[in-house]
Amino acid sequence: MNIETISWQNNRIRIIDQTKLPGRLQYLYINNLRELWRAIKELKVRGAPALGAAAGLGIYLAVKDSRAKTFGEFSAQLDLAAKYLASSRPTARNLFWGIERVCRVAGKNRNASLPRIKELIFQEALRIIEEDKLSCRRIGELGSALINDRDTVLTVCNAGILATIDYGTALGVIYRAVEKGKRIKVYASETRPLLQGARLTSWELKNKKIPVTLICDNMAATLMQQGKVAKVITGADRIAANGDSANKIGTYSLAVLCAYHNIPFYIAAPASTFDLGKRSGRDIIIEERDPREITGLFFRQPIAPRGVEVYNPAFDVTPHQLITAIITDKGIIRKPCRKNIKRVLK
Ligand code: MRU
């Protein structure tokens, strides 16, 4: 099945509504910035690279019908749209990167006519999409060399087609390894509370006919103890200058388990996920989400007593010392640290 997570169709944004999966593959049209903000907040579109693409198209959507008369007016509208979109979710670097990228195009071409600037913003947004397709394939190509025939790989959350445009980062590595003829099995960790592993990763892998076994998050240690996991590969939402990597809550515990069991722990992410302005993971803002995601969402009955106190951080930070390598579109960063990151990303 050929699916495209996000695209521009009939003068609006088309996304796969990921909250409907695995039950239904349903597309949703986004007509304005407010709708996009909600779609991001509610994880209808999610995953760092997909958010970067959504950001570019979203800014274009916000200003394409602008009636501004001067660049000053136009630029003020752009700023407003950028700030609003950036307030949807705080952790994924790509969302901000996408916004900054298209806004920069406007700034650089301030002397062009406003229709021309709009056109340039649109082209830049489309370029983000095309680049994502290429960078995921590059990550897949490089990362697949780290995977052996008959490996069993464990992953968490969804860093696949649905988190990018059409290939994935962590799952892209697996897809490429399989394309090369390697026989790979995957354990998908369900990823409480929103179950991206159960709903999205296992759906994607089943579609691709790649053997996948769904596990609860708290089963990873047992699998490793039983020698059933050869490698762990995850995506990332934001990577600090020293290599500390924020990703879906539960990633850090997998990295700790890998260190104990002597299992390679890889992160796969494009250069656009790096935030060299953040010295370490301590500077990364971790999104906290609605407690109801833990107490009841997706279930007909509440699964916790009404009013119970809940802590619901959506991401955690894996210290770089626990990461065997970061697979990027610019190369593999082994033993990620400030120096090695700089050398590969340049
Ligand atoms: O809350 P989500 O579903 O947006 O979290 C997504 C992740 O944690 C992914 O692993 C990350 O964005 C990388 S996607 C290639």
- The domain 6-137 having CATH identifier 3.30.420.10: the answer here is no
pTM > 0.95: yes or no: yes
The reported pLDDT for the residue numbered 274 is 98
- Cα separation, 248 vs 156, in Å, equals 8
Helix (H, G, I), strand (E, B) or coil at 153: strand
End-to-end CA distance of the chain, in Å?
A: 37
Helix (H, G, I), strand (E, B) or coil at 148: coil
Spatial CB neighbours of 42, under 8 Å, sequence gap ≥ 6: 19
pLDDT tens across the length of the chain (346 residues): 788 999 999 999 999 999 999 999 999 999 999 999 999 999 999 999 999 999 999 999 999 999 999 999 999 999 999 999 999 999 999 999 999 999 999 999 999 999 999 999 999 999 999 999 999 999 999 999 999 999 999 999 999 999 999 999 999 999 999 999 999 999 999 999 999 999 999 999 999 999 999 999 999 999 999 999 999 999 999 999 999 999 999 999 999 999 999 999 999 999 999 999 999 999 999 999 999 999 998 888 899 999 999 999 999 999 999 999 999 999 999 999 999 999 999 9
How many Cβ atoms sit within 10 Å of the Cβ of residue 221? 15
B/e letters for 242-270, b = 16+ CB within 10 Å, e = fewer, are bbbbbbbbbbbbbbebbeeeebbbbbbbb
Q: How far is the CA of 115 from the centre of ligand 1 (A)?
A: 35
Q: Where are the beta strands (DSSP E) in the chain?
A: 6-9, 12-16, 27-30, 152-156, 185-189, 212-215, 231-234, 238-240, 245-248, 265-268, 274-275, 315-318, 325-328, 331-334
Q: State how far the alpha carbon of 244 is from the alpha carbons of 11, 135, 166, 307, 326, in Å.
A: 39, 21, 27, 35, 10
- The CATH class for the domain spanning 146-345 reads alpha beta
Residue 300 dihedral angles phi and psi, to the nearest 5°: -70, -35
Q: How far is the CA of 68 from the centre of ligand 1 (A)?
A: 36
The DSSP-derived string for 204-266 is HHHHTT--EEEE-GGGHHHHHHTT--SEEEE--SEEETTS-EEEETTHHHHHHHHHHHT--EE
* Ligand 1 pocket mutation, candidates 42, 237, 298, criterion most atoms within 8 A of CB: 237
Q: How far is the CA of 247 from the centre of ligand 1 (A)?
A: 6
Domain limits, the chain: 6-137, 146-345
* Ligand 1 pocket mutation, candidates 46, 173, 204, 274, criterion most atoms within 8 A of CB: 46
The reported pLDDT for the residue numbered 276 is 98
Read off the DSSP letter of residue 289: -
* Ligand 1 pocket mutation, candidates 5, 40, 133, 158, criterion most atoms within 8 A of CB: 158
* Residues tagged active-site: 237
The reported pLDDT for the residue numbered 297 is 80
How many Cβ atoms sit within 10 Å of the Cβ of residue 3? 13
Sheet with 6-9: strands ordered across = 6-9, 12-16, 27-30
How many Cβ atoms sit within 10 Å of the Cβ of residue 138? 19
Task: Tell which atom from ligand 1 comes closest to the C-alpha of 314.
Answer: 1
Q: How far is the CA of 156 from the centre of ligand 1 (A)?
A: 9
CB contact at 8 A, 214 and 26: no
Helix (H, G, I), strand (E, B) or coil at 90: coil
The reported pLDDT for the residue numbered 2 is 81
Nearest-5° angle of CA 6, CA 54, CA 77? 140
How many Cβ atoms sit within 10 Å of the Cβ of residue 346? 8
Nearest partner of 335 among 346, 322, 324, judged by Cα: 324
Q: How far is the CA of 67 from the centre of ligand 1 (A)?
A: 36
Residues with a CB atom less than 6 Å from ligand 1? 43, 46-49, 92, 157, 159, 163-164, 169, 196, 234-237, 247-248, 314
Q: How far is the CA of 19 from the centre of ligand 1 (A)?
A: 14
Atom 10 of ligand 1, nearest CA residue: 235
Task: Tell which atom from ligand 1 comes closest to the C-alpha of 164.
Answer: 15
Nearest partner of 88 among 324, 287, 293, judged by Cα: 287
Task: Tell which atom from ligand 1 comes closest to the C-alpha of 156.
Answer: 10
